[in-house]
Amino acid sequence: MIRLFIIFILIISPPCLADATTRPPEQTHWSFATPLGTFDRSAMQRGFQVYKEVCSACHELSHIRFRELSALGFNDKEIKAIAADYSIKDGPNDEGEMFDRPALPGDSFPNPFPNEQAARASNGGAFPVDLSLIIKGREDGANYVHSLLTGYGSAPTDITLFEGKSYNPYFEGGQISMPPPLVDGQVTYVDGTPATVDQMSKDVVTFLSWASAPELEARRQMGLKVILYLIVFSMLMYFVYRSVWRNVK
Ligand code: HEC
Protein backbone atom coordinates (compact mmCIF):
# COMPACT_ATOMS: atom_id res chain seq x y z
CA MET A 1 0.00 0.00 0.00
CA ILE A 2 2.73 2.44 0.99
CA ARG A 3 4.58 1.61 -2.24
CA LEU A 4 1.50 2.41 -4.26
CA PHE A 5 1.23 5.70 -2.42
CA ILE A 6 4.88 6.56 -3.19
CA ILE A 7 4.39 5.73 -6.89
CA PHE A 8 1.26 7.91 -6.94
CA ILE A 9 3.19 10.84 -5.41
CA LEU A 10 6.02 10.37 -7.94
CA ILE A 11 3.56 10.42 -10.84
CA ILE A 12 1.78 13.59 -9.77
CA SER A 13 4.82 15.46 -8.47
CA PRO A 14 6.50 16.72 -11.71
CA PRO A 15 3.63 19.08 -12.60
CA CYS A 16 3.59 20.33 -9.00
CA LEU A 17 7.32 21.00 -9.11
CA ALA A 18 7.00 22.94 -12.38
CA ASP A 19 7.81 26.61 -12.09
CA ALA A 20 4.63 28.00 -10.57
CA THR A 21 5.54 31.57 -11.58
CA THR A 22 5.37 30.84 -15.35
CA ARG A 23 1.90 30.89 -16.88
CA PRO A 24 1.09 28.75 -19.96
CA PRO A 25 0.42 30.86 -23.10
CA GLU A 26 -3.11 32.08 -23.91
CA GLN A 27 -4.54 30.36 -26.99
CA THR A 28 -5.37 32.54 -30.02
CA HIS A 29 -6.76 31.51 -33.41
CA TRP A 30 -4.11 31.96 -36.13
CA SER A 31 -4.97 31.74 -39.84
CA PHE A 32 -1.75 29.82 -40.49
CA ALA A 33 -2.14 27.29 -37.69
CA THR A 34 -4.65 25.01 -39.46
CA PRO A 35 -3.39 22.19 -41.74
CA LEU A 36 -4.16 24.11 -44.97
CA GLY A 37 -3.92 27.60 -43.46
CA THR A 38 -2.06 30.51 -45.06
CA PHE A 39 -0.52 33.71 -43.72
CA ASP A 40 -2.71 36.81 -43.81
CA ARG A 41 -0.77 39.15 -46.15
CA SER A 42 -2.06 42.40 -44.61
CA ALA A 43 -1.22 41.14 -41.10
CA MET A 44 2.26 40.19 -42.31
CA GLN A 45 2.87 43.65 -43.77
CA ARG A 46 1.63 45.34 -40.60
CA GLY A 47 3.73 42.92 -38.52
CA PHE A 48 6.79 43.76 -40.56
CA GLN A 49 6.15 47.45 -39.84
CA VAL A 50 6.03 46.64 -36.09
CA TYR A 51 9.28 44.65 -36.31
CA LYS A 52 10.95 47.43 -38.29
CA GLU A 53 9.78 50.34 -36.15
CA VAL A 54 9.93 48.68 -32.72
CA CYS A 55 11.64 45.29 -32.31
CA SER A 56 14.54 45.87 -34.72
CA ALA A 57 16.02 48.41 -32.28
CA CYS A 58 17.15 45.43 -30.16
CA HIS A 59 16.46 42.14 -31.96
CA GLU A 60 18.12 40.93 -35.14
CA LEU A 61 16.37 38.90 -37.84
CA SER A 62 19.46 37.40 -39.39
CA HIS A 63 17.87 34.54 -41.37
CA ILE A 64 15.75 36.80 -43.57
CA ARG A 65 17.06 38.59 -46.65
CA PHE A 66 15.28 41.73 -47.83
CA ARG A 67 14.56 40.01 -51.13
CA GLU A 68 12.39 37.45 -49.32
CA LEU A 69 9.95 40.20 -48.33
CA SER A 70 8.37 39.65 -51.75
CA ALA A 71 6.38 36.93 -49.95
CA LEU A 72 4.60 39.75 -48.07
CA GLY A 73 3.44 41.26 -51.34
CA PHE A 74 6.16 43.93 -51.78
CA ASN A 75 7.46 44.49 -55.32
CA ASP A 76 11.14 44.86 -56.28
CA LYS A 77 11.09 48.65 -56.08
CA GLU A 78 9.52 48.62 -52.61
CA ILE A 79 12.06 46.03 -51.42
CA LYS A 80 14.96 48.14 -52.69
CA ALA A 81 13.58 51.13 -50.80
CA ILE A 82 13.06 49.08 -47.60
CA ALA A 83 16.63 47.72 -47.80
CA ALA A 84 18.10 51.17 -48.46
CA ASP A 85 16.77 52.32 -45.05
CA TYR A 86 19.27 49.99 -43.36
CA SER A 87 23.00 50.41 -43.18
CA ILE A 88 25.38 47.45 -43.62
CA LYS A 89 28.98 47.22 -42.50
CA ASP A 90 31.01 46.09 -45.51
CA GLY A 91 34.64 45.90 -46.46
CA PRO A 92 37.51 46.01 -46.14
CA ASN A 93 38.01 48.41 -49.06
CA ASP A 94 41.33 48.93 -50.92
CA GLU A 95 42.66 50.96 -47.99
CA GLY A 96 41.80 48.11 -45.60
CA GLU A 97 39.00 50.09 -43.97
CA MET A 98 35.52 48.78 -43.13
CA PHE A 99 32.77 51.08 -44.40
CA ASP A 100 29.02 51.52 -44.13
CA ARG A 101 26.76 51.30 -47.16
CA PRO A 102 22.99 51.12 -47.69
CA ALA A 103 21.65 47.54 -47.66
CA LEU A 104 20.75 45.83 -50.94
CA PRO A 105 17.92 43.31 -51.55
CA GLY A 106 20.39 40.40 -51.31
CA ASP A 107 21.56 41.39 -47.80
CA SER A 108 20.17 39.93 -44.58
CA PHE A 109 18.64 42.20 -41.94
CA PRO A 110 21.61 43.74 -40.10
CA ASN A 111 22.25 43.20 -36.42
CA PRO A 112 21.27 46.28 -34.38
CA PHE A 113 24.38 45.77 -32.22
CA PRO A 114 27.98 45.20 -33.37
CA ASN A 115 28.33 42.13 -31.10
CA GLU A 116 26.71 40.19 -28.24
CA GLN A 117 28.58 42.09 -25.53
CA ALA A 118 27.30 45.41 -26.89
CA ALA A 119 23.76 43.99 -27.02
CA ARG A 120 23.97 42.83 -23.40
CA ALA A 121 25.55 46.09 -22.24
CA SER A 122 22.55 48.02 -23.60
CA ASN A 123 20.01 45.61 -22.10
CA GLY A 124 21.01 45.24 -18.47
CA GLY A 125 23.08 42.12 -19.17
CA ALA A 126 20.25 40.24 -20.96
CA PHE A 127 20.53 39.22 -24.60
CA PRO A 128 17.75 40.12 -27.07
CA VAL A 129 17.58 36.90 -29.09
CA ASP A 130 17.51 36.75 -32.87
CA LEU A 131 13.81 36.67 -33.76
CA SER A 132 14.14 34.77 -37.08
CA LEU A 133 13.41 31.39 -35.53
CA ILE A 134 11.73 32.38 -32.26
CA ILE A 135 8.28 31.01 -33.21
CA LYS A 136 9.71 27.61 -34.15
CA GLY A 137 12.21 27.66 -31.32
CA ARG A 138 9.71 28.00 -28.47
CA GLU A 139 7.00 25.54 -27.52
CA ASP A 140 3.61 26.79 -28.81
CA GLY A 141 5.67 29.70 -30.25
CA ALA A 142 2.96 31.95 -31.75
CA ASN A 143 0.81 31.84 -28.62
CA TYR A 144 3.86 32.22 -26.38
CA VAL A 145 5.19 35.35 -28.11
CA HIS A 146 1.69 36.89 -28.32
CA SER A 147 1.07 36.19 -24.61
CA LEU A 148 4.50 37.58 -23.73
CA LEU A 149 4.00 40.84 -25.66
CA THR A 150 0.52 41.45 -24.24
CA GLY A 151 1.13 39.93 -20.80
CA TYR A 152 2.97 42.72 -18.93
CA GLY A 153 1.35 43.95 -15.75
CA SER A 154 2.10 45.04 -12.22
CA ALA A 155 3.75 42.37 -10.12
CA PRO A 156 1.71 40.63 -7.39
CA THR A 157 2.66 41.83 -3.91
CA ASP A 158 4.52 38.60 -3.04
CA ILE A 159 7.00 39.07 -5.92
CA THR A 160 9.96 41.44 -5.59
CA LEU A 161 11.26 42.51 -8.98
CA PHE A 162 15.01 42.57 -9.56
CA GLU A 163 16.48 45.82 -10.81
CA GLY A 164 15.75 46.49 -14.49
CA LYS A 165 13.18 43.68 -14.72
CA SER A 166 9.51 43.87 -15.64
CA TYR A 167 6.82 41.52 -14.41
CA ASN A 168 5.62 39.15 -17.13
CA PRO A 169 3.98 35.88 -16.01
CA TYR A 170 4.54 34.22 -19.41
CA PHE A 171 8.34 34.55 -19.24
CA GLU A 172 10.20 31.83 -17.39
CA GLY A 173 10.48 32.93 -13.78
CA GLY A 174 7.98 35.77 -14.27
CA GLN A 175 10.61 38.54 -14.64
CA ILE A 176 11.97 39.78 -17.96
CA SER A 177 14.69 42.26 -18.92
CA MET A 178 12.73 43.46 -21.98
CA PRO A 179 10.73 46.55 -20.99
CA PRO A 180 7.13 46.40 -22.38
CA PRO A 181 7.92 47.00 -26.08
CA LEU A 182 4.40 47.94 -27.22
CA VAL A 183 2.00 50.70 -26.16
CA ASP A 184 -1.31 51.53 -27.84
CA GLY A 185 -0.84 53.68 -30.95
CA GLN A 186 2.91 53.10 -31.12
CA VAL A 187 2.91 52.65 -34.88
CA THR A 188 0.64 54.27 -37.47
CA TYR A 189 -0.61 51.62 -39.83
CA VAL A 190 -0.88 52.71 -43.46
CA ASP A 191 -4.08 50.65 -43.91
CA GLY A 192 -5.76 52.50 -41.03
CA THR A 193 -6.02 49.48 -38.69
CA PRO A 194 -6.13 50.76 -35.06
CA ALA A 195 -2.73 49.97 -33.54
CA THR A 196 -3.75 48.46 -30.19
CA VAL A 197 -1.16 46.43 -28.27
CA ASP A 198 -3.15 43.28 -29.03
CA GLN A 199 -3.34 44.08 -32.77
CA MET A 200 0.37 44.96 -33.09
CA SER A 201 1.29 41.84 -31.18
CA LYS A 202 -0.87 39.58 -33.39
CA ASP A 203 0.55 41.22 -36.52
CA VAL A 204 4.19 40.90 -35.46
CA VAL A 205 3.59 37.26 -34.46
CA THR A 206 2.12 36.58 -37.93
CA PHE A 207 5.18 38.18 -39.52
CA LEU A 208 7.59 36.26 -37.27
CA SER A 209 5.71 32.99 -37.90
CA TRP A 210 6.31 33.49 -41.60
CA ALA A 211 9.97 34.34 -40.90
CA SER A 212 10.31 31.09 -38.93
CA ALA A 213 8.85 29.04 -41.80
CA PRO A 214 8.87 30.96 -45.12
CA GLU A 215 8.39 27.67 -47.00
CA LEU A 216 5.26 26.67 -45.04
CA GLU A 217 2.67 27.61 -47.69
CA ALA A 218 4.66 26.04 -50.54
CA ARG A 219 5.05 22.87 -48.49
CA ARG A 220 1.30 22.73 -47.78
CA GLN A 221 0.43 23.32 -51.45
CA MET A 222 2.79 20.55 -52.48
CA GLY A 223 1.22 18.23 -49.88
CA LEU A 224 -2.23 19.00 -51.25
CA LYS A 225 -1.10 18.33 -54.84
CA VAL A 226 0.44 15.00 -53.79
CA ILE A 227 -2.79 13.95 -52.07
CA LEU A 228 -4.93 14.95 -55.10
CA TYR A 229 -2.54 13.09 -57.39
CA LEU A 230 -2.75 9.98 -55.22
CA ILE A 231 -6.56 10.09 -55.22
CA VAL A 232 -6.74 10.42 -59.03
CA PHE A 233 -4.06 7.75 -59.43
CA SER A 234 -5.91 5.28 -57.17
CA MET A 235 -9.17 5.85 -59.06
CA LEU A 236 -7.38 5.27 -62.35
CA MET A 237 -5.81 2.09 -61.04
CA TYR A 238 -9.19 0.88 -59.83
CA PHE A 239 -10.71 1.27 -63.32
CA VAL A 240 -7.69 -0.40 -64.94
CA TYR A 241 -8.08 -3.26 -62.49
CA ARG A 242 -11.80 -3.54 -63.31
CA SER A 243 -11.23 -3.55 -67.07
CA VAL A 244 -8.33 -6.05 -66.94
CA TRP A 245 -10.33 -8.56 -64.89
CA ARG A 246 -13.70 -7.90 -66.58
CA ASN A 247 -13.69 -11.04 -68.72
CA VAL A 248 -12.03 -13.32 -66.20
CA LYS A 249 -14.55 -15.12 -64.03
C1 HEC B 1 14.76 47.80 -25.82
C2 HEC B 1 15.15 46.58 -26.46
C3 HEC B 1 14.06 45.62 -26.90
C4 HEC B 1 13.00 45.87 -27.77
C5 HEC B 1 12.62 47.17 -28.45
C6 HEC B 1 12.31 44.61 -27.92
N7 HEC B 1 12.93 43.63 -27.17
FE8 HEC B 1 12.40 41.70 -27.03
N9 HEC B 1 13.84 41.35 -25.67
C10 HEC B 1 14.79 42.27 -25.27
C11 HEC B 1 15.65 41.66 -24.29
C12 HEC B 1 16.82 42.33 -23.59
C13 HEC B 1 15.19 40.33 -24.11
C14 HEC B 1 15.76 39.25 -23.17
C15 HEC B 1 14.95 39.26 -21.90
C16 HEC B 1 15.48 38.42 -20.77
O17 HEC B 1 16.27 37.50 -21.04
O18 HEC B 1 15.07 38.65 -19.63
C19 HEC B 1 14.04 40.18 -24.98
C20 HEC B 1 13.30 39.02 -25.09
C21 HEC B 1 12.31 38.82 -26.02
C22 HEC B 1 11.58 37.58 -26.21
C23 HEC B 1 11.71 36.36 -25.35
C24 HEC B 1 12.67 35.41 -25.93
C25 HEC B 1 12.75 34.12 -25.16
O26 HEC B 1 13.88 33.80 -24.84
O27 HEC B 1 11.75 33.44 -24.92
C28 HEC B 1 10.73 37.77 -27.27
C29 HEC B 1 9.77 36.75 -27.87
C30 HEC B 1 10.90 39.12 -27.71
N31 HEC B 1 11.85 39.74 -26.94
C32 HEC B 1 10.20 39.68 -28.76
C33 HEC B 1 10.20 41.04 -29.05
C34 HEC B 1 9.34 41.64 -30.06
C35 HEC B 1 8.37 40.88 -30.95
C36 HEC B 1 9.60 42.97 -30.04
C37 HEC B 1 8.93 44.04 -30.85
C38 HEC B 1 7.52 44.18 -30.68
C39 HEC B 1 10.65 43.19 -29.04
N40 HEC B 1 10.98 41.99 -28.47
C41 HEC B 1 11.20 44.44 -28.74
C42 HEC B 1 14.90 43.57 -25.70
C43 HEC B 1 14.00 44.20 -26.55
Q: Which of 59, 127, 135 to mutate to test the pocket of ligand 1 (most atoms within 8 A of CB)?
A: 59
* Closest ligand 1 atom, residue 172 Cα: 27
In this prediction, residue 16 carries a pLDDT of 47
* Closest ligand 1 atom, residue 205 Cα: 35
Q: What is the whole-number distance in angstroms between the Cα of residue 148 and the centre of ligand 1?
A: 9
What percentage of the chain exceeds 90 in pLDDT? 83
* Model confidence at 78: pLDDT above 60: yes
* Model confidence at 215: pLDDT above 60: yes
DSSP code per residue over the chain? -HHHHHHHHHHHHHHHHS-TTPPPPPP---TTSSTT----HHHHHHHHHHHHHTGGGT---TT-BGGGGGGGT--HHHHHHHHHTSEEEE---TTS--EEEE--TTSBPPPSSSSHHHHHHHTTT-----STTHHHHSTTHHHHHHHHHH---PPPTT-PPPTT-EE-TTSTTSEESS-----TT-S--TT-----HHHHHHHHHHHHHHHH-TTHHHHHHHHHHHHHHHHHHHHHHHHHHHHHHTT--
Q: What is the whole-number distance in angstroms between the Cα of residue 168 and the centre of ligand 1?
A: 12
Q: Kindly indicate the confidence band of residue 112, based on its pLDDT and cuts at 50, 70 and 90.
A: very high
The mean pLDDT value for 187-204 works out to 97
In this prediction, residue 36 carries a pLDDT of 86
What does the buried/exposed string (b/e) look like for 101-111 if buried means 16 or more CB atoms within 10 Å of the residue's CB? eebbbebbbbb
What percentage of the chain exceeds 70 in pLDDT? 92
The predicted model scores a pTM of 0.87
* Model confidence at 197: pLDDT above 50: yes
In this prediction, residue 11 carries a pLDDT of 61
Q: What angle do CA 87, 53, 209 make, to 5 degrees?
A: 100
In this prediction, residue 19 carries a pLDDT of 55
Amino acid at 60: E
* Closest ligand 1 atom, residue 138 Cα: 27
Cβ < 6 A, ligand 1 pocket: 50, 54-55, 57-59, 123, 126, 128-129, 134, 138, 145, 148-149, 176-178, 181-182, 204
Average pLDDT over the chain, rounded to an integer:
92
Q: Which of 58, 165, 207 to mutate to test the pocket of ligand 1 (most atoms within 8 A of CB)?
A: 58
pLDDT, one tens digit per residue, over 152-188 is 999 999 889 999 999 999 999 999 999 999 999 999 9
- Asked if 176 and 128 touch (Cβ cutoff 8 Å), the reply is no
- Asked if 121 and 111 touch (Cβ cutoff 8 Å), the reply is no
